[in-house]
Amino acid sequence: MIKIQKLVKAFGYFPVLRGLDLEIGAGQFVALLGPNGSGKTTLLRILAGLSKPTSGTITIGGWSIPDEIAAVRQQLGIVSHQTLLYDTLTAEENLLFFARLYNIPTDERMDRIHALLNNVGLGARAKDVVQTFSRGMQQRLAIARALLSDPAILLLDEPYTGLDQDAAALLDELLHEVAGVGTSQRTAIMTTHDLRRAYELTTHVAILQRGKIGYFGETAVIHDLPALYAETVEAKTIT
């Protein structure tokens, strides 16, 4: 589904990603872990086509980045720690705007918007302006926005930032039930610093260290994720 080979990204003379290789299969839910500055967000931004790689090859669903980015964008949904929403528009207007951008057929738009709003528990607030929503509600709306085009791949960039416990628990449910991440129909990559959540939610774990993948494997075979994380991060830092 996603194949990354020898990916390098440098800002000026400072390399952030240094020959990163990673292969993610269809339906996998991958937790992308790593210390601050290890390149997690940079990697997601490259996959989303927001940043160009310095060198290396990336293919998503057979399409290469950045040459065939238009085809890749059709398959992507993004949830970030920023909601990427417009505060002065209503929930319905926000989704309607993105439905137009994603060329969702006119006769399907409103049905799909209302179905998604109901799924994320915001059906009753469809006509309310986003700036009146709590942070948790805004993040649920952000998930609805990301799912509007029914993307095959979800990129989740620290989606739990700023959420209280209840809102975070609700987001856990949403990611499984509504977004269907980690199921055969949807692949997801989530950057996070929350090791417990990464362990509980994901099917695979990738640990970034010094711009490369220090560890990649199935979550189910990991006995102690914090220990593995510390070992991977610290071992490579010394060299």
Partner 1 sequence: MKKMSFVTPYWQVVGAVLWKDLRAELRGRELVTSMLLFATISVLIFSFALELDAQAQSETVGGVLWVTVAYAGTLGLGRSLAAEKDKGSLDALLIAPVTRSAIFFGKMLGNFIFTLMVAFVMTFLLTILFNINLFLPILWIVLLLGCLGFASTGTMVASMSVYARARETLLPIMLLPILLPVIISSTRASIAIITDLKVEDWLPWLQLLVFVDGVFIVMAYLLYGYIVEE
CB of residue 78 to partner 1, shortest distance in Å: 6
3 state SS of 22:
strand
* Farthest-apart Cα atoms in the chain, separation: 59
- Closer by beta carbon to partner 1, 60 or else 205: 60
Amino acid at 127: K
- Closer by beta carbon to partner 1, 113 or else 225: 113
Nearest to 39 by CA among 3, 15, 13, 12: 15
- Closer by beta carbon to partner 1, 98 or else 215: 98
- Closer by beta carbon to partner 1, 82 or else 134: 82
**Cβ–Cβ under 8 Å, residues 157 and 78:** yes
Amino acid at 145: R
- Closer by beta carbon to partner 1, 117 or else 225: 117
CB of residue 51 to partner 1, shortest distance in Å: 4
CB of residue 187 to partner 1, shortest distance in Å: 16
- Closer by beta carbon to partner 1, 50 or else 227: 50
Residues that bind partner 1 (CB under 8 A): 45, 48-52, 68, 70-71, 73-74, 76, 78, 80, 82-89, 93, 97-98, 100-103, 129, 145
CB of residue 227 to partner 1, shortest distance in Å: 35
CB of residue 166 to partner 1, shortest distance in Å: 24
DSSP 28-79: -EEEEE--TTSSHHHHHHHHTTSS--SEEEEEETTEEETTTHHHHHTTEEEE
CB of residue 174 to partner 1, shortest distance in Å: 19
Q: What is the torsion angle, in degrees rounded to the nearest 10, for the CA atoms of residue 110, residue 177, residue 80 and residue 153?
A: -80
CA distance 133 to 221: 40
Q: What is the torsion angle, in degrees rounded to the nearest 10, for the CA atoms of residue 140, residue 71, residue 104 and residue 120?
A: -10
